[in-house]
Structure 1
């Protein structure tokens, strides 16, 4: 009984410590994530709200900012926003056992090369400024992701929608690998769940 009480209290404390970090995508028509970099702990949720145009949140690596992390990286799919929209799509993921920086970009053609990138837990050695500079030195290319179910090296599984994923809120989630797992959700009124994320290994 004492153990059960302690365990329940520990779970409650863990939930209470978790934070939701909000990030706006394309705010005021800009090609930017706002904020462009965040610090997050395991248990936190990072929630992206798409406010204009047609953007994605797609996982990449520090070395290749504008290339998706194979077909297993986290990818929101394209989220089109009507010019006079009053409700907006949201895509979120949960930090789980993440041990290093995470790198993201918008894979709409040309957006990454214009600096539309995002970082979680960048370091002094691999800073956001360096990551963005690398991105702005790349060609105006975009990359896709296949609609497959994948299994990461940490045993997590998830599904990934085609690269031109529907803007209606149909679920699209990535299932990346190594050093961390992430639960991803997409939706407006709906939040559809999946799994995955690559962490730490992004060189």
Structure 2
């Protein structure tokens, strides 16, 4: 994972002619919206994705197809990236793709994922972006799990903070913030307050 700053103007998508690798540019929160633009890319091994934080206070956080609004343990997490109104340069995060199987991401700002602020790399017909976004839209805002999973978990008494999926396969230069698979009630309350406070910047 590599952080840097970029000009706030839209940057062109560049292709390295020697290696035929593509650098995809994804704008987060462009035009004050709760969006990743584009919402999905099809990337080859070795391609890079540069996430540009255009406005407000968002994250790019890795999740799984089964739990769109839950952090994937050990996955990529940019942390919150506040951007002042009218900023002339914005933070960016660049990740290198290591596989062609699907990768799933969301913004962990309070309520953003549940409003469909998600992103996918290499979705398939069986696991499409529309299905992923639809599951995010129905997620329980307190657990991040799709509503049906949250209800089943509450009924069985099982912890609802686990995430499924294989080890993340996008590499990054630098370090990423690891995410725990489950939270205690106390730490969840603290995170909810912190998220709410961060949301006041919006």
TM-score tier, shorter chain, comes to 0.5 to 0.7
The one of 30, 35, 45 equivalent to 1:32 is 35
**Residue 180 of structure 1 corresponds to which residue in structure 2?**
169
**Residue 52 of structure 2 corresponds to which residue in structure 1?**
49
TM-score between both structures, scaled by the size of structure 2: 0.65
**Residue 78 of structure 2 corresponds to which residue in structure 1?**
76
Structure 1 residues 114 and 195, CA, compared in 2 at 3 Å: closer, same or farther?
A: closer
Q: 2:136 and 2:120 mapped to 1: Cα distance?
A: 12
Q: 1:62 and 1:52 mapped to 2: Cα distance?
A: 26
Query: Which structure dedicates a bigger proportion of its chain to helix?
Result: 2
**Residue 68 of structure 2 corresponds to which residue in structure 1?**
65
2:44–2:97 contact (8 Å) kept in structure 1:
yes
**Residue 96 of structure 2 corresponds to which residue in structure 1?**
94
2:62–2:71 contact (8 Å) kept in structure 1:
yes
Structure 1 residues 28 and 43, CA, compared in 2 at 3 Å: closer, same or farther?
A: same
The answer to which structure, 1 or 2, has the higher relative contact order (CA under 8 A, 6+ apart) is 2
Q: 1:196 and 1:99 mapped to 2: Cα distance?
A: 23
1:182–1:196 contact (8 Å) kept in structure 2:
no
Structure 1 residues 141 and 89, CA, compared in 2 at 3 Å: closer, same or farther?
A: farther
2:77–2:177 contact (8 Å) kept in structure 1:
no
TM-score between both structures, scaled by the size of structure 1: 0.65
Structure 1 residues 142 and 88, CA, compared in 2 at 3 Å: closer, same or farther?
A: farther
Q: 2:20 and 2:61 mapped to 1: Cα distance?
A: 27
Question: What runs of 5+ residues in structure 2 fail to find an aligned partner?
Answer: 1-15, 145-164, 179-202
1:24–1:35 contact (8 Å) kept in structure 2:
yes
Structure 1 residues 142 and 34, CA, compared in 2 at 3 Å: closer, same or farther?
A: farther
Cα RMSD (Å) of the superposition?
Answer: 2.5
Q: 1:53-94, CA deviations, whole angstroms, 9 ceiling, x for partnerless residues? A: 100000000000000002x11100000000121110001101
Q: 1:127-183, CA deviations, whole angstroms, 9 ceiling, x for partnerless residues? A: 00000000000122477xxxxxxxxxxxxxxxxxxxxxxxxxxxxxxxx97373512
Q: 1:90 and 1:42 mapped to 2: Cα distance?
A: 21
**Residue 152 of structure 1 corresponds to which residue in structure 2?**
none
Question: What runs of 5+ residues in structure 1 fail to find an aligned partner?
Answer: 1-12, 144-175, 185-192, 198-203
**Residue 10 of structure 2 corresponds to which residue in structure 1?**
none
